[in-house]
Chain A
Amino acid sequence: MKKLNLSKNAKHDLVTYGIVVVAYLVMEILMKAGLVSSLLKGLLVPLCIYAIMAVSLNLTVGILGELSLGHAGFMCVGAFASAFFSMCMKESAMPGGLRFLLALIIGALAAGIFGILIGIPVLRLRGDYLAIVTLAFGEIIKNLVNVLYIGRDVDGFHFSMKDSLSLNLGEGGKVIVNGAQGITGTPNDSNFTIGIILLLITLVIILNFIHSRTGRAVMAIRDNRIAAESVGINITKYKLMAFAISAALAGIAGVLYAHNLATLTALPKNFGYNMSIMILVYVVLGGIGSTRGSMIAAVILTLLPELLRGLNDYRMLIYSIVLIAMMLFNWSPKAREFREKYSWKRIMKNGKKEEV
């Protein structure tokens, strides 16, 4: 009995990991064979980034059941914290691999800490307060980074919120964070393989979390807060934990982002409100609460506009039709019935029965 129940989750998770690994191998083979356009090649790391973002947001929206509209804000924190660290360490003797590993930890920690800071006051409240506060947070962080100037010379670090001149850097001093121009010259440490590894790590963390005692408590809170309290679950603690993990993983996506491009700037396009909504769209279309679904939706919806580039004028039209179709396929009762009737599991089962 026990085996049946455990292995069911485990099997489901293994398939999810399998999909990622297979997708990776297929892409690698295609690249070796020279069948991948340079456009697609440039998309590989962003694909991993968006998949990590979607999977981590799903933890907040699907598992914890709270709406967050500022997920890109945590990504922004992770990106700038790690890029700043990498820039400081660039000239030191530290090997690149170790530097990137430390950057990852710093990015995740920084984003996680911001998650806790926002979560402590907001997650105590019931209702949609988290959505409002995270929305504001995302915008504030983006704008804050745009007026932040940090430089370093022999005396140490200099901060300013005005312009790079008011940093008063001494001889040989360098501006690291240059306001709206962001951070220039971040080491290009991330690549497709690293992206896939980080995606796998994210998946392992999230799926293991969901299927542990803590994850159960979080889902119990989502399903019925009052009942969860009545069986002795500490509501605030578990909400905060899930939210902080979600934020920290968004920070990891940010690190990947920062180390994929030579210039890191906080624009509305990459860290703004639109981005947060995009990620939310992935989660909703992937089926709220489904980790695998979020990941697949992120990949499809990132690839689609690029693949349709040739169609130019009709690109966004087709994109929106696909959005609607996916929504219907995932959520309408009739489509759900259809999927249950013709699901792979069912077909396999029937096949087996016939054999017997």
Chain B
Amino acid sequence: MALLDVSNLGISFGGLRAVDNFEIHIEQGQLYGLIGPNGAGKTTVFNMLTGVYKPDDGKIELDGKNITGKKTIEINQAGVARTFQNIRLFKELSVLDNVKVGLHNHHPYSTLEGIFRLPNYFKVEKEMDERALELLKVFDLDKEADFLASNLPYGKQRKLEIARALATQPKLLLLDEPAAGMNPNETKELMDTIRFVRDQFHMTILLIEHDMKLVSGICEELTVLNFGQILASGQTSQVLNDPQVIKAYLGE
């Protein structure tokens, strides 16, 4: 059974059918790409998968569990984490604290234990610090742990967002245009990072991307959206050579 099973997903805004009859099946450990021209509805799909929008119809199943129309928090707790197209970090918090917020639900202690600094506070905070630093090290961010997140260079902010998402221990990681605004060198580095995350954390990754080099370089399967509908779906090389896809992207 697939890790993520989406069938017949659709949503309308006013009279506009933004996404229609969308389906996708992602296996555990797969690196899956979702591509399409601007305004095709890719981010809308992400927002439905993460509970930002409630789909009008269709069904989303994660690991056999129905998560359709659940709240963002519940979906995160069920095992979906994401990054954002326009980076959304906790700017005034340190790099370390950004990751520790991601660890929030997995290392609990009560507010009173925090205020009165009971032994559990020190124990759990230590665990969190260690775990967060481990994660930062994976992304080569451990030297910047004390920096404010807003002071990081752009490429590292992207990485920090991925680290924060991974801190919530997801089964499925959604990356929304991770290479947006990156130069070719940074993009190449990012490709390595994404592959590394998949192998190291046995993560299943679904990503939205415009950069064809990145997509053809790392995605095993693709789904192409155009005007809210699936244009093509399947093996990356097949899909990219599909005349319909070429037409949608490059025109005739």
Residue numbers of A with Cβ under 8 A of B are 1-2, 4-6, 8, 204-205, 208-209, 211-217, 219-220, 222-224, 226-234, 241, 289
> Are A220 and B133 within 8 A (Cβ)?
no
CA distance A2 to B122 in the complex (A): 11
Asked if B73 and A229 sit within 8 Å, CB to CB, the answer is yes
Task: Write out the residue numbers on chain B whose beta carbons fall within 8 Å of the beta carbon of A234.
Answer: 73
Contact size class for B? 35 or more
Give Cα A1 to B125, complex, Å: 13
Contact A209 B93 (CB under 8 A): no
Question: B227 at the A/B interface (Cβ < 8 Å)?
Answer: no
Partner of A213, one of B93, B114, B167: B114
A5 to B126 Cα, complex, angstroms: 11
CB–CB B72/A230 < 8 A: yes
B111 proximal to A (CB < 8 A): yes
**For residues 145 through 167 of chain B, which have their beta carbon under 8 Å from a beta carbon of chain A?**
145-146, 164-165, 167
| Chain A residue contacts of B213, Cβ below 8 A | none
Complex contacts, A213 vs chain B, CB 8 Å: 100, 104, 107-109, 114, 124-125, 128
CB-CB under 8 A from B111, the residues of chain A are 209, 212, 214, 241
Q: What is the predominant secondary structure among interface residues of chain A facing chain B?
A: helix
Interfacial chain A residues near B105, Cβ < 8 Å: 232
Point out the residue from B89, B100, B108 that lies within 8 Å of A216, measured CB to CB: B100
Question: What residues on B are CB-neighbors of A215 within 8 Å?
Answer: 114
A213 to B127, CA, bound (A): 12
The verdict on A5 contacting B92 (CB below 8 Å), with A212-B121, A233-B104 known, is no
C-alpha spacing A216/B84, complex, angstroms: 21
A232 touches B76 (CB 8 A): yes
Is A230 touching B81 in the complex (CB atoms < 8 A)? yes
Find out whether the CB atom of B115 lies under 8 angstroms from the CB atom of A2.
Answer: no
Of the residues A5, A205, A214, A289, contact of B96 by C-beta under 8 Å: A5
Cα A204 to Cα B90 in complex, Å, equals: 24
Is the contact region of chain B dominated by helix, strand, or loop, or is it mixed?
A: helix
The complex places the Cα of A241 from the Cα of B114 at a distance, in Å, of 13
Return the contact of A228 from the options B52, B81, B91, B101 (Cβ within 8 A). Answer: B101
User: Are A216 and B96 closer than 8 Å at their CB atoms?
Assistant: no
Number of A-B pairs, beta carbon distance below 8 Å: 111
Closest CB in chain B relative to A322 CB, distance in Å: 28
Query: CA–CA, A213 to B16, complex, Å?
Result: 42
* A230-B104 CB under 8 A given contacts A216-B93, A224-B88: no
B128 contacts which chain A residues (CB < 8 A)? Answer: 213
CB-based nearest A residue for B72: A229
Chain A residues whose C-beta falls within 8 Å of the C-beta of B94 in the assembled complex = 5
From the candidates B88, B115, B146, B167, name the one contacting A8 in the complex (CB within 8 A).
B146
| Chain B window 191-233, contacts with chain A (Cβ cutoff 8 Å), 1 for yes, 0 for no | 0000000000000000000000000000000000000000000
In the complex, chain A residues whose CB is within 8 Å of the CB of B124: 213
Query: Do A209 and B114 form a contact, CB below 8 Å, given A5-B129, A220-B101, A230-B50?
Result: yes
- Taken together as a complex, chains A and B put the C-alpha atoms of A8 and B94 apart, in Å, by 12
User: A229: which B residues are within 8 A, CB to CB?
Assistant: 72-73, 76
Can you list 14 A-B contacts (CB < 8 A)?
A208-B115, A208-B117, A212-B111, A213-B104, A220-B101, A223-B90, A224-B90, A227-B164, A230-B50, A231-B101, A231-B104, A231-B167, A233-B104, A234-B73
The residue from A5, A208, A224 contacting B91, defined by CB atoms under 8 A apart: A224
> Which residues 106-146 in B have Cβ within 8 Å of A in the complex?
107-109, 111, 113-117, 121, 124-126, 128-130, 133, 142, 145-146
Interface assignment of B102: CB less than 8 Å from any CB of chain A: yes
Chain A residue with Cβ nearest B116: A208
A223: contacting residue among B77, B93, B108, CB under 8 A: B93
On whether the beta carbons of A224 and B89 are closer than 8 Å, the reply is yes
Q: Is the CB of B108 within 8 A of A289?
A: no
CB distance from B100 to the nearest CB of A (A): 6
Shortest Cβ distance from residue A62 to the other chain B in the assembled complex, whole angstroms: 10
Specify which chain A residues have a CB less than 8 angstroms from the CB of B90 in the assembled complex.
219-220, 223-224, 227-228
In the bound complex, residues from chain A placing their C-beta under 8 Å from that of B100 are 213, 216
Picked from B88, B114, B115, the residue with its CB within 8 Å of the CB of A227 is: B88
**Closest residue on chain A to residue B97 by CB atoms:** A216
A204 contact set on B, CB distance < 8 A: 115
> B156-199: contact bitstring with A at CB < 8 Å (1 yes, 0 no)?
00000000110110000000000000000000000000000000
**Nearest Cβ in chain B — how far from A331, in angstroms?**
15
Q: A208-B116, A213-B107, A216-B97 are in contact. Are A223 and B84 (CB under 8 A)?
A: no
